[in-house]
Amino acid sequence: MNDIKAKLHALCVAYVQTRMKAAEQAIAEAQQSQNDDTKSSAGDKYETGREMAQQETNRNLAQLNEANKLMVALNQISYNGTSQKAETGSVIFTNNGNFYLAISAGTLLLDGKNFFAVSPASPIGFKLKDKKAGEEFILNDKTYQIQSII
C-alpha cells in the first residue's frame, strides 16, 4: 500500500520539476530576447521591448519561486507508514474519488486510477484533514464518505 504513496509522491515531484523547468526556460528566453534587442533610432520601441522582456522574466521568476515552495513542501512529506486519520501524505479513498493530500497538482493517473493531488489548505484538503474511515463531509452540495485511508 505504501507503494501507492511513493508513486503518487514521485508523480507530484515530476509535476513540480516540469513546472520549474518550464519557468527556467521561459526566463532564459526572456533574458535572451532582452539581450538581443538592439538599440535602434526608435528609442521608445527599444525601451518598451526591454521592459516587456523584464516583466516576462519577473512573471516567470515568481512561477519558479512558487514551484520551489511546492518542492520544499513535498520534501517535508513522509510517504512511509499509514495513519488512522487523513493527514499530509495520506491517500484517501472516498465514494467520490481518490485523493492524495500533499500539494495541488491536479489529477494524477496511477495504475489506471485517477487520484486528485490536493493541498491541505485547499477547500477539499481542509475538509479531508483529520477525518477517519467511515466519516463523511459535504462540499459543494456533494457528500463524500471516506472508505479508507493509507
Please indicate, yes or no, if residue 86 is contained in any of the structural domains: no
Angle at 13 between CA 55 and CA 85, to 5 degrees: 120
Pair 36, 96 in one domain:
no
In a domain? residue 127: yes
- Least confident among 8-22, 67-81, 100-114, 118-132: 67-81
Residue with cell 513522509: 78
Answer whether residue 68 is part of any domain. Answer: yes
Q: Which residue has the higher pLDDT, 50 or 95?
A: 95
Q: What confidence tier does 81 reach under pLDDT thresholds 50, 70, 90?
A: confident
pLDDT at 90 over 90: yes
Which grid coordinates are listed for 89? 501524505
Global pTM reads: 0.84
Give residue 83's pLDDT band: very low, low, confident or very high (50, 70, 90).
confident
Q: How many separate domains does the chain show?
A: 2
In which domain, by residue range, is 40 found? Answer: 2-75
Of 36-50, 80-94, 104-118, the least confident? 36-50
Q: Which among 49, 75, 101 is the end of a domain?
A: 75
Q: Indicate whether 71 and 110 sit together in one domain.
A: no
pLDDT computed for residue 108 by the predictor:
97
pLDDT at residue 41, as a whole number: 46
Note whether 10 and 60 are same-domain residues. yes
